[in-house]
Each structure stands twice: as structure tokens, then as C-alpha cells.
A and B are shown apart, each in its own frame.
Chain A
Amino acid sequence: MTTVKAIAVIVIGLAGGLAVGTGFVAFLAVLGVIPRLTQLTKTMKWIYAYEWSAVFGAVTGGWMSLRSSALDISKYWLIPLGLFSGVFIGMLAAALTEVLNVWPILAKRIGMVDKIILLMMALVFGKVFGSLFYWMYFAEVMSL
């Protein structure tokens, strides 16, 4: 009986992981962040390596967060990690406005095609400010 149970658990776990993993990849594919990065850095030939990096990243992150393992290394590793994860989320956010076709319509409607960069900066600064505000003040108030 325990073997059956174990197999059932394995199958369910595998199926769940499969669904989440395909969803993650589909999400990345729709937003087109990886193609954008390869286009910027002119490294089209390494696109498969990038795919694997996303896969390994997802697996490592999943494993470490689920196992609650600790690396016990210097806390200053958090600085580059924070920066990289921020850039990643920032790119996702930018790609999302892209997919939703926000910019062309906004710029046309209000007749400010020439000022679109300045408007984009409003979004960028808004994101940075909102994020800092959240971590330094908002989250603290919420936890009280």
C-alpha cells in the first residue's frame, strides 16, 4: 500500500510541477524577455544556453525554497542577487505594458508622441519609488 501511495504522490508532484513549469515557460515566451535580451547583447547563438539557465534557475529556486536550505554565506551576496532579480522583474513589467499595447495608444490619444520617453521615465521612477516605499515603510505599517 505504501508503494502505491508513494507512486501516487510522485505522480501528483510531477504533474503539478509540469503544469507550473509549462505555465512559467509560456509566460516567459509570451512576454519575450529572453529574445529581447539576446537581441540587445547580440548573442543569438547562445539562446539554448539561456533557455537552460531559465530552467535551472526555476529548478534551483523551487528546490531551495521548498527545502528551506541555508547556504550560510555572506549577506553581501544579496546585493547582486537583489539587483538581478529586480532587473528581471522590471523587464517583465516593461514587457507587460508592451503586450498590453499601452504605449502607442497612450501616446496617440494624448498627442505626446515626442514626449514618450519622458512618460516612460514616469513609469520607471514610479516603479522604483513605489518599490522602495513598499519595503521601507508600507510593509512595516502593514505588519503592525
Chain B
Amino acid sequence: MRQMEKAVFVKLRHRVQVKPDDVILVGDVAQIIASDKQMLQQLKRIPLYRIQRSDKNIVIVDVMKVVDAIVRFDPSLEIQTIGSAQTIVEVVYPKRTISFAYFLAVWLLLFIGSAIAIINFHEDVSMQETHQHLYTIITGKKADKPLLFQIPYSIGLGLGMIIFFNHVFRKRINEEPSPLEVEMFNYQQSLDQYVILHENKESMKQIDDR
């Protein structure tokens, strides 16, 4: 019974956003369960780390650091950690607003780029000949510019891309994410994995040859 009262359960959050010059508290990065409510509040208020300018925008808080802080607070506590071993602390600097011109430039780049890409594709696969041939197959007549086929084709091209990225079928019956969302998630996951290993000074030990 005595043992139970001293147990503290700690689970680190995956990703936390803070402002520059904030002090990270234990309660910011971890969810804590303890039977003593008053002690719980005190534990949550233990400072862990002050964000410095040199940290740039990512700080990794290791679970050992949290355990260390709690043990310092009260060595008799029995700490149980659950879940991931690091929290990614993202320092959010005041957002520099993206100028509209910058956005427009990217938009035009993509627009022109994809227009040229489709022209190249058509040229590459002799699409014109294929369409002329198809016109003959269907109607039995010849046409130099089978626009009757080609205009719906062009509209369908855009439609197909939109369908693939799921912006027509907005009403999702279940909560399946679109491929774009999955792709963004996977990429973020890889980035997180990278910074956890590379920004965390505790995760690697190297020979100090200085």
C-alpha cells in the first residue's frame, strides 16, 4: 500500500510547441499520474530546461532528464515510464509572413512546369497520332485535330488528379486519410525520427578527442 502511494507514472508527449525564451516544465512535456494530487501539481511545475537562441527550432527532451528532475525533487518516488523515450520540443518563432509575391512565384512555377511537363509527355508518346488513330477507330473517318476527344480528355486530366487526391468526394464515410495526408504524415514521421536521434545529445556517445 505504501508502495502504491509513491508510484509516479510518466508518459512523454510526442511533440510540444513552445515560445522562444520559455522554460520547459515537466508538465509541458509529460503526462503524469500520481496518487497525491498536491505532489502531482508540484511535479508538473518542476523546470526542466530554458530555451536558448542557440537551440534554433528543435530541442529533444529525453525521458531520463524528466526522471532525473523528479528524482531530485523526491528520491523516494518510484517512477514508471510509459511510451516514447523522447519529446520533440518545437520552438515556434513569431511567424514571418510569407509574402504574396513569394507564393505567387511558387504557384506560377508549378503551373508552368506542369503545363510544359504534360506537353512533353504528349509529344513523347505521340499522343496526337494516337488520338487521330482512335478517332478513325470510332468514327471510321479521318481527323487531323480530333478536338471532340481531346477537350474532354484535357478536362478529365485535371479531374483525375483531383479525384486521386480526394477533393471531390469530400463526404468521407469513414475517416480514411487521403494519400496526400498519409504522405505528409510519413514524411513528418521520418523527420521526427531523424531529429530524435541527431538532436539528442544523449542518444549517441562519441569519443571526445579534444
- The interface of chain A, by Cβ under 8 A from chain B, is 32-33, 36, 39-40, 42, 64-65, 68-95, 98, 101, 103-105, 107-108, 110-113, 115-120, 122-136, 138-140, 142-143
Contacts and interface: CB of A to CB of B under 8 A. Distances in A.
B155 A128 contact: yes
Given A70-B140, A71-B137, A128-B155, A86 B148 contact: no
Contact of B103 (A83, A87, A115, A136): A115
Contact of B148 (A32, A79, A124): A79
B154 to A, nearest CB: 4
Contact of B157 (A127, A138, A140): A127
Contacts, number: 223
Instruction: Determine the interface band of chain B, counting residues with CB < 8 A from chain A.
Output: 35 or more
Contacts of B150: 82, 131, 135
A39 B174 CA distance: 10
B137 A127 contact: no
Interface of B: 98, 103, 106-108, 110-119, 122-123, 128, 130, 133-141, 144-167, 169, 173, 176, 179-180, 183-184, 186-188, 191
A27 B186 CA distance: 22
A144 to B, nearest CB: 12
A80 B159 CA distance: 13
B148 A76 contact: yes
Given A42-B173, A122-B111, A81 B161 contact: no
Pairs A-B, 4 closest by C-beta atoms: A86-B156, A90-B160, A130-B115, A126-B114
Given A39-B176, A118-B107, A86 B122 contact: no
Contacts of B108: 122
A81 B151 CA distance: 11
A108 B150 CA distance: 36
A43 to B, nearest CB: 12
Contacts of B135: 75, 78
A56 B173 CA distance: 31
B152 A135 contact: no
Contact of B115 (A91, A94, A129, A139): A129
A91 B164 contact: yes
Given A33-B164, A119-B110, A131 B179 contact: no
